[in-house]
Every structure is written in C-alpha cells, then in structure tokens.
Amino acid sequence: MEFITESHYFRVMPFLLEGLVWTLLITFVGLIFGFVLGAVFGFARLSKNKIIYGLATVYVEAVRGTPILAQILFIYFGLSDLTGINIDKISASIIAIAINAGAYIAEIVRGAVYSIDKGQEEAGRSIGLTRNQTMRYIIWPQAFRRMIPPLGNQFVISLKDTSLFSVIAVGELLYMGQQYYGMTFQAFQALTMVCVMYLIITVPTAVYLRRVERRLDV
C-alpha cells in the first residue's frame, strides 16, 4: 500500500523537528511564567484579605471557565484590536500558556498548602517562627513536594494545548505537520508522525510522574 511504501514518514521529520523546538520553547517558557502567576494567585487564594482573595478567585474562575482556544484568540486578536498594538504570534502563545496554566497551578498551590497538617503551622509558631517564616521553612517545602506530580501533569496538558496555536499560524508540531501534508497531500503519514512525536514526549513523562508520585507517597 502507498502509505507503507512511501517514505513520507521520514521526509516529514525535518518539519516536525522544527515544530517540536517551538512547541517545547512555548511550553517551558509559558510554564515558567505560569508557575510565577500560579504561586502568586495560589497564595492570594489563601489570603484572609477579602479583596486579595476575591481578585485571585476572579482570575482563577475566569480562566478555568473559558476554553484556552478562546483565550488564544482573545490575546492575539482581541488585545491587538483593543490596544492597537500588534502582539507577535510567539509572545501571544507564551502569554496564553502562562495565563491558562497559572490559573490551574494556583489551585495546585492552594491545594498543596491546604493538604499540610495544621499541626505543622502550630509547631512552627510554638518555636517562635512568624507566620511567614513558618510558611517559608516548614509548610512550603512539604507542599512543594506534593505539587510535583500535578505540576508534571500540567506540563503534559500545556504541551498538548500548544497544538491549538496552529489557528494563529504558530509553527508548532501540528502546524508544521499541516504545512507538510498541504504540500504533499500525504495527510495520513504526516499526522501519524505528529501523534508519534507527542507520544514520545508525553508517555515517558507520564511514566516518570507515576514513579515520582509513588516515591513521594502522595
């Protein structure tokens, strides 16, 4: 059969490797900023200040309640239309990943901190530590260990979400696969290799995360 004898599986690889570079770059940079946002808004969701808590809740619920595709289009087209400033495709993609992942990471942070036994805070206060010192030296290190598996899962989710950036012509994996079969009309081979490339990244990551989770016993 043609899809077996043709070498398009290999010819598409230069396209996909270029797309993989952009996929990983957008994912990693977006998640770095997303973690910062998640930490800030996660702790804000723990705040006893109603204004701070309310603003953080609006951000988390608004982002988690809307599809990332709408967020991508809003950032790339909507903000440009509103401000008159053109945002380049890569920057828009990184911003979208950061904002979207940040909302989910905020809940990961909040949940991890809440999961630490209240006695830990009481123990810190009993030895003379302030609330902030107790959080920094006692609660946060334990909470961070518990955050590692869900943060890894968020990496996988954000990585797959980059495929949606093809709608604004970002040269990530799916878009480059589309470019190839648009020129060669070999959609089966190109899309098969796109899926294989995603699996090569996501499956080992998932296996590793399960091992980490068992090791951490969380």
Q: What tens digit of pLDDT does each residue of 23-81 get?
A: 999 999 999 999 999 999 999 998 889 999 999 999 999 999 999 999 999 999 998 88
Rounded to whole angstroms, the Cα distance separating 208 from 212 reads: 6
Map tokens 């997303």 to a residue. Answer: 34
Q: What tens digit of pLDDT does each residue of 130-150 get?
A: 777 788 778 888 888 888 889
- Asked if the structure places residue 194 within a domain, the reply is yes
User: Which residues, in sequence order, are CB contacts of 16 under 8 Å at separation 6+?
Assistant: 173, 176, 177, 180, 193, 194, 197
- Asked if the structure places residue 205 within a domain, the reply is yes
- Asked if the structure places residue 163 within a domain, the reply is yes
Q: How many domains does the chain have?
A: 1
127 or 79, which is more confident: 79
Give the pLDDT score at 5.
42
Give the pLDDT score at 3.
42
- Asked if the structure places residue 1 within a domain, the reply is no
Q: For the chain, what percent of residues have pLDDT higher than 90?
A: 51
Q: Which residue range is the domain that position 75 belongs to? A: 6-216
Angle in degrees, 0-180, between the axes of helices 89-115 and 13-44, rounded to the nearest 10? 50
- Asked if the structure places residue 135 within a domain, the reply is yes
**Confidence tier at 217 by pLDDT (50, 70, 90):** low
Q: What is the mean pLDDT of residues 187-209?
A: 90
Rounded to whole angstroms, the Cα distance separating 201 from 134 reads: 38
Rounded to whole angstroms, the Cα distance separating 171 from 166 reads: 7
- pTM of the full structure: 0.87
Residue 187 has pLDDT above 90, yes or no: no
**C-alpha torsion angle, residues 4, 8, 14, 17 (rounded to 10):** -50
- Asked if the structure places residue 117 within a domain, the reply is yes
Q: Which CATH number characterizes residue 129's domain?
A: 1.10.3720.10
